[in-house]
Structure 1
Amino acid sequence: MIRPGLTVKLSVLLACIGVLASGATGYYAYRANRTMLVNEAGHSLLTSTELLGQRFSSSIDDVGADAQVLASLPSAAEVAQTDDGLGKNAAREQLAQVYSSFMIHHPEYLQIRLIARQHYGLELIRFDRDGDGLARVQGNSLQEKGQFAYVFETLAFSPGRIYTSPISVNHEYGAHGAEGKPTLRLGTPVANAGGEVVGVVVIDVDLAGLLKRLQSDLPSDYQVYLTNEWGDFLVHPDASKTFGFDRGRRVLIQDSFSVTKPLFEQSQSEILVNGLVKPKQAAGQVLAFVRRPFGDSAGNRFIVLGLAKPLEDVLSGANLLGDRIVRMVLVFSVLALALAVLFARALTKPLHLLAHAATHLFAEHAMETLPLKRTDEIGVLARCFDRLRREIKSQMDVLHAKQRELVHLATHDGLTGLPNRMLFIQKLESAIDEATRRQEGLAVLFVDLDRFKQINDQFGHSIGDKVLAVVARRLKQVLCTADVVARLGGDEFIVLIEGPRSVEAAQAIASRIMDTLNETLVMDGQSMNVGASIGISQFPDDSGTAEELLLNADAAMYAAKSGGRCAYLRYHDLLETRRREQHAQQEEAQARAGKDATAGREAEPMA
């Protein structure tokens, strides 16, 4: 008896779908209403975003105007030209009172400074915000700031222009209450009567305080996003995603909302998107973004400001209409549901078995439940799937074996089986990081065989290869399991010793290595002695990087080999020897110079 196929079952199920046709008109009305509400909310959100952006730009322009007022004060150029920040200066004190007044009346100002062109950009007047009060920095506490971009770039401006810095987190030394806060710096040149720029006025703005004041009148269900010109989040509903660049992990709006990329490419100035039309780009939200320049236009500074509103709040009216439509088609849905249950049980059970087998592709228990004995299309599909799974498993097993073999060949020496230079460098860098974290030391031993070239020349390369393999085994026998030995190439080996024991154990291990390598080898009936010269470098005394540790150990090894084979030498001792030799040469040169001077004085009376 031939059982009905999947085509027959689907035909019956599709016939039942006709019952739901009565709900099509209501569904269309529901969708149209949703679209209208979302479009209106989007336009309203875009308008609010543009207004907020204008307020932000206007606030920055006001800060720039304050900086220009301070720079244009008659005594500003005089103080910048003649003062050194020390002692008493009446003009400086008058300016300081004005600066203090500006700080009092603008709580979002974190710092106001007058910085001179001379004295390497020395601060002459500086007020910081410290807690709820002001702190004036004077005398020797004033700092040279000529190396900072907001100083030397502003000094290059013509009078009247405004420098606008990137928005960043303040990490300058001695910044009082401004330290660690998101800061925007605005500066303007101070010019004398002849138009020469003699200093700058710099105002540091607390970006968080400024934005808090600008957002105060927004609706409570609005979510605010703000980024700099690179896309780093400065404001985000999730505070952990803001200022990621300051914590070593950049969180960009282009990654979170890909639709904003044209704003940074400057091909568009505003973006409007909603989760109804593009659910992947605005999940559950209506979003509006605008690009807003601020500060001096020549500085190419801009922000991207965005507002979001939950889609659920926007569609609350449409949901009421949807409830009424649902009631209208409910009776027909009951009949459709009953039919769907009957046919779903027959159709979905084998499909579920296939889905389970697909998600557990290499599990034998999943294959056992497949309907392999069925005679319809499901049975054919199950048998094909089983054959495909077996073939894939076979190919994957071969591929994994090849991958493991390639990885081992790429990281190990083919002759000795030891790690090669690449793998050793990786292990050494990891060991340095771990030693730094634990505040411990480590040692690197550079081992060079003394008589390997003679053995190679006398007995041939095949014997030489066997000697290298024996040397590798002996090195592993001498070392602890936690130590690492690798072959760099030729007759050069390298050893890594980690942990608290590394400083004391390095020389003892070097001695044991020389002892074991000095023992006579017998290869194919031939007796031979290898011997080794060893250089030792230690972290952190000799270097803090993997490459320098290797180079220092190599230098110590060559010095040991030059002083006589079968010896070891620490890099620290090598440096001490070189210092003593240089000191002896300097003393000898001074003695010769003294003798020449004495001989010259004795020769003058004779003349």
Structure 2
Amino acid sequence: MIRPGLTFKLSILLACIGVLASGATGYYAYRANRTMLVKEAAHSLLTSTELLGQRFSESIDDVGADALVLASLPSSAEIASTDDGSRANPSRERLAQVYSSFMIHHAEYLQIRLISRAHYGLELIRFDRDADGLMRVEGGNLQEKGQFPYVFEPLAFSPGRIYTSPMSVNHEYGAHAAQGKPTLRVGTPVANAQGAVVGVVVIDVDLAGLLKRLQSDLPSDYQVYLANEWGDFLVHPDTSKTFGFDRGRRVLMQDSFAVTKPLFEQKESEVLVNGLARPRQAQGQVLAFMRRPFGASGGNRFIVIGLGKPLEDVLSGAHLLGGSIIRMVLISSVLALFLAILFARALTKPLHILAYAATHLFAEHAMETLPLKRTDEIGVLARCFDRLRREIRSQMDALHVKQRELVHLATHDVLTGLPNRMLFMEKLERAIQEATRRREGLAVLFVDLDRFKQINDQFGHSVGDKVLVAVARRLKQVLHSADVVARLGGDEFIVLIEGPRSAEAAPGIASRIMDTLNEEIVMDGQSMTVGASIGISQFPDDSGTAEELLLNADAAMYAAKSGGRCAYLRYHDVLEARRGEQVQRVEAVHAQAGEGATEGHEAEPTA
């Protein structure tokens, strides 16, 4: 009986070590990846929960701001003080149009009402939303609401305070589309000139619609939970568990998720839990909950917002990694056996040389040690490796050249060689950041050629292309080396001037540009003059963003072109001109109204 030799035993030993090492590493990597994915998902959920809570608070604040705007209208106080809703009132109709516009522009508003303090809280202006859209309630259909908390509580407030009602299901009679919907009411008192509260403005918000809008950009597999300060579910993936107190069966968040109890006891402000570490408390889920204050008038009121994600979705990447690890372990096992055999056959040295060369692929000194002169398989492998290295280097060099060409083509205008719009906007955004950091300004000049279309039509597109090249060359000659000029497209160019000199230098540069473009250009024996109209916008006076600076410069250019070509205008001057025109129109309207009133007074004695 022939016993296995040392070579065989050493090969088996090294192969087993390699298999065990790769298997243990794969298993550890799989477990570590699962933990990392769950932690990342929990952190992402917490961030999304914070963002959702912030958006919810900001949305409620926006509703309160709208209520303050309506309450601060002088006509609101006048109508709440003097009107009883029984007679036609032109002032009430004009005010009703304002209320209607708020309903039109806020789809989540179910009702907007102006309620008088007198007449038992009579509704004077009321707009409802029904199945057909916006609906105004008038005349005998107006109701007395003085007995409701959202009326008598805001009436006790000082002007400017905001009342926020508890979130509940609307069961009021005649509420139209709001009937049976989860509703949040926001109100504020209406005060007259003496500061006395004469009424209240109440806005009913569709809570479900508001939350749907706020969570519209959340991933589709996120589950949203919302509870009031007592723990009653207001939002739950299972709608049968929401607003249980309205149906006589309370479903509490702290009962469904025990980890949220510290939130309702106000011992903690946020809670994270996952089904991987605590399967009993979050079965098959990753959950994040956060407590946020709610309502400015309710004292210690708050809501609890939560987001959940199925653990299976979170670990889907880990499952894919597990399959890859199994394949890697199998490959590593085969490789370990192969290396063990090679080691046993005294081939360790050339293999080390090849390994060193592989880890220093482009190092010339590593290639010099390769056993290229050997005639066996090691020599063949070494020569193939050397050829492969040379081919890879050659292809990489060619690839880098192509990449640089593609980058240049993607960021520069093919005809003029100037930066295109994409590259210019990147430079402009970086310039804005730098100017903000240094507290400096910059200017954007929008240059539009005045007679380029006539040149194209008269001499053809080939001549037009040569003219554009000549214009680009002249612009670069006029500008400072630090300035940036780009072609947006067609006959439009854009110039960026940076630094403290931008505010004073921009008009002078615009004048030099117009002068150089008003000089004759000779193309193919034909003399022509291009001319240009220029609009100037400045940072930070005209705008703080790249897009708005470009749009404002464009607007100033069009104003310059409409006022007469071959001119430049600053956007600030355009705004001043528009304000002057508005003041003149208002003064003309006032003058006409005064003349009409004078004629009425003169005709009254005759009647």
Determine if contact 2:10/2:344 at 8 Å carries over to the other structure: no
Distance 2:566 2:267 in 1: 71
Residue type at the aligned position of 1:479: L
Greater Cα shift, 524-533 or 485-494: 524-533
Q: Secondary structure at the match of 2:448?
A: strand
Distance 1:20 1:485 in 2: 66
Q: Which residue does 2:153 correspond to in 1?
A: 84
Q: Cα distance 1:355–1:592, how it changes in 2: closer, same or farther (>3 A)?
A: same
Task: Compute the displacement of 1:417 (Å).
Answer: 0.5
Q: Which residue does 1:121 correspond to in 2?
A: 185
Q: Which residue does 2:470 correspond to in 1?
A: 470
Residue type at the aligned position of 1:502: S
Q: Which residue does 2:570 correspond to in 1?
A: 570
Determine if contact 1:415/1:465 at 8 Å carries over to the other structure: yes
1:13 to 7, 21, 24: 7
Distance 1:605 1:210 in 2: 75
| 1:93-119 per-position Cα deviation (integer Å, ceiling 9, x unaligned) | xxxxxxxxxxxxxxxxxxx99668899
Determine if contact 1:441/1:539 at 8 Å carries over to the other structure: yes
- What are the within-5 Å matches in structure 2 for residues 361-400 of structure 1? 361-400=361-400
Q: Cα distance 1:587–1:233, how it changes in 2: closer, same or farther (>3 A)?
A: closer
Structure 2: where are the runs of 5+ without partners?
Answer: 32-146, 158-163, 173-182, 189-201, 213-222, 235-241, 255-259, 291-307, 327-339
Task: Compute the displacement of 1:413 (Å).
Answer: 0.6
Q: Cα distance 1:19–1:424, how it changes in 2: closer, same or farther (>3 A)?
A: closer
Task: Compute the displacement of 1:376 (Å).
Answer: 1.2
Determine if contact 2:284/2:310 at 8 Å carries over to the other structure: no
Q: Cα distance 1:359–1:465, how it changes in 2: closer, same or farther (>3 A)?
A: same
| 1:199-218 per-position Cα deviation (integer Å, ceiling 9, x unaligned) | xx9999654989999x9xxx
| 1:233-278 per-position Cα deviation (integer Å, ceiling 9, x unaligned) | 779xxxxxxxxxxxxxx9997798547889xxxxxxxxxxxx9x99
Task: Compute the displacement of 1:13 (Å).
Answer: 2.9
Determine if contact 1:486/1:494 at 8 Å carries over to the other structure: yes
Distance 1:606 1:16 in 2: 128
Q: Secondary structure at the match of 2:495?
A: strand
Q: Which residue does 1:41 correspond to in 2?
A: none
Determine if contact 1:535/1:553 at 8 Å carries over to the other structure: yes
Determine if contact 2:150/2:187 at 8 Å carries over to the other structure: no
Task: Compute the displacement of 1:389 (Å).
Answer: 2.1
Could you state the TM-score of these two structures normalised by the residue count of structure 2?
A: 0.50
Is 1:406 the counterpart of 2:475? The answer is: no
Task: Compute the displacement of 1:279 (Å).
Answer: 11
Q: Secondary structure at the match of 1:552?
A: helix
Task: Compute the displacement of 1:493 (Å).
Answer: 0.2
Question: How many aligned residue pairs are there?
Answer: 394
Distance 1:19 1:531 in 2: 86
Structure 1: where are the runs of 5+ without partners?
Answer: 1-9, 39-77, 89-111, 125-143, 155-164, 171-177, 216-221, 236-249, 263-274, 282-339
Determine if contact 2:486/2:495 at 8 Å carries over to the other structure: yes
Q: Which residue does 1:321 correspond to in 2?
A: none
Q: Cα distance 1:205–1:212, how it changes in 2: closer, same or farther (>3 A)?
A: closer
Q: Secondary structure at the match of 2:347?
A: helix
- What are the within-5 Å matches in structure 2 for residues 528-607 of structure 1? 528-598=528-598
What RMSD, in angstroms, separates the aligned Cα atoms of the two structures?
5.8
| 1:287-320 per-position Cα deviation (integer Å, ceiling 9, x unaligned) | xxxxxxxxxxxxxxxxxxxxxxxxxxxxxxxxxx
Q: Secondary structure at the match of 1:586?
A: helix
Q: Which residue does 1:354 correspond to in 2?
A: 354
Q: Secondary structure at the match of 2:372?
A: coil
Is 1:484 the counterpart of 2:500? The answer is: no
Q: Which residue does 1:510 correspond to in 2?
A: 510
Could you state the TM-score of these two structures normalised by the residue count of structure 1?
A: 0.50
Distance 1:121 1:228 in 2: 36
Q: Cα distance 1:521–1:587, how it changes in 2: closer, same or farther (>3 A)?
A: same
Task: Compute the displacement of 1:414 (Å).
Answer: 0.7
Q: Which residue does 2:418 correspond to in 1?
A: 418
Distance 1:387 1:497 in 2: 52
Distance 2:601 2:152 in 1: 53
Q: Secondary structure at the match of 1:487?
A: strand
Task: Compute the displacement of 1:84 (Å).
Answer: 0.5
Residue type at the aligned position of 1:532: A
Higher-Rg structure is 1
Task: Compute the displacement of 1:559 (Å).
Answer: 1.0
Distance 1:597 1:86 in 2: 38
Distance 1:500 1:554 in 2: 23
Distance 2:203 2:446 in 1: 46
Q: Secondary structure at the match of 1:121?
A: strand
Task: Compute the displacement of 1:373 (Å).
Answer: 0.5
Determine if contact 1:531/1:566 at 8 Å carries over to the other structure: yes
- What are the within-5 Å matches in structure 2 for residues 486-501 of structure 1? 486-501=486-501
Instruction: State percent identity of aligned pairs.
Output: 61
Determine if contact 2:560/2:567 at 8 Å carries over to the other structure: yes
Determine if contact 1:113/1:202 at 8 Å carries over to the other structure: no
